[in-house]
Structure 1
């Protein structure tokens, strides 16, 4: 299971396997996505389930990248993760701790798989966001 805590500039990843975590931070860029992919391959864990919080557009590119790599990806409402943290009485609030929490949530809750919208729709959405930004 892989929990990802994502932000605009970077993301923290925590791989959970047999009760042991392997953690690393990456840039939230295409180069960071590739570095994550290589890091996961080095861990040699088959059928990994990736889980990240729905954080607007911060995670969409990464989720799409991982989906295109044929990984099972789930994007979860942050309120579900927060509720899960409360059930564990978790109080530590760092990016690394959050990524570990998301990995545990993924293992315990087995959230539904996410599928990206079709490429033409993504392109149209990006154009609309760009127009909005220019008119802003």
Structure 2
């Protein structure tokens, strides 16, 4: 018996925002809209809404702009629910937008992404590995400590100018403590990379010390998932 490919009859486009997801569903000749919160409860509500509209979520193709702000969490959340999250960007999307007589900004709109999803059937996005997500978490923690240290260093001269010797000494001690934390985090990050070779270079690495990037990823590796 010949294998019969699954016929896709429903397509979703999602516009991401800090607090909300604007969703457009194309199904059975209808265009349906839904706005949910950009959090786990919102993703579950979206899944329930799709099911109430007789749309199976397993294997449902969902187009998003993963280069848009606040898109990472919903992409991972919906993929974990079994949806085929597709990264709609680049030349194919731009060509589709221009073919529709729209400007580039329209490529972020949910209704445009839904129609692009139906027309182009872009390849599913591959979620990052748990090791990669853990690396990004460690890098964010490192950045937070580095930012605190930067702020504390900026106060040193101010305390000296004001004759606040005691505060200056205490702040120096605190900075020494932060330096130790930074060194410990860098060691943990590099050990993590040793345990998981071949990971792509995360975007947070741009804000970290160069020795991590040089040790872990070399000079010519570009960002990616």
Specify the TM-score bucket, using the shorter chain as the normaliser: 0.7 to 0.9
Higher helix share: 2
- Give CA deviations for 1:85-110 in whole Å, capped at 9, x if unaligned: 2210136x78xx91111000001011
User: Alpha-carbon deviation of 1:115?
Assistant: 1.3
Q: Residue 128 of structure 2: which of 117, 125, 129 is its match?
A: 117
SS in 2 for 1:11: strand
- In the alignment, the residues of structure 1 paired with residue 145 and residue 91 of structure 2 have an alpha-carbon distance, to the nearest angstrom, of 32
SS in 2 for 1:36: helix
1:76: which partner in 2?
A: 88
2:218: which partner in 1?
A: none
TM-score between the two structures when normalised by the length of structure 2: 0.53
Query: How many residues are treated as equivalent by the alignment?
Result: 134
User: Alpha-carbon deviation of 1:19?
Assistant: 2.8
Q: Residue 76 of structure 2: which of 52, 60, 64 is its match?
A: 64
User: Alpha-carbon deviation of 1:135?
Assistant: 2.0
Say whether 1:19 aligns with 2:29: yes
Distance change in 2, residues 1:82/1:134 (3 Å) = farther
- In the alignment, the residues of structure 1 paired with residue 102 and residue 68 of structure 2 have an alpha-carbon distance, to the nearest angstrom, of 24
Say whether 1:102 aligns with 2:113: yes
Rg larger in structure: 2
Q: RMSD of the alignment, in Å?
A: 2.3
Q: Which runs of 5+ in 2 are unaligned?
A: 1-10, 148-225
TM-score between the two structures when normalised by the length of structure 1: 0.85
Q: Are 1:54 and 1:78, in contact at CA under 8 Å, matched by a contact in 2?
A: no
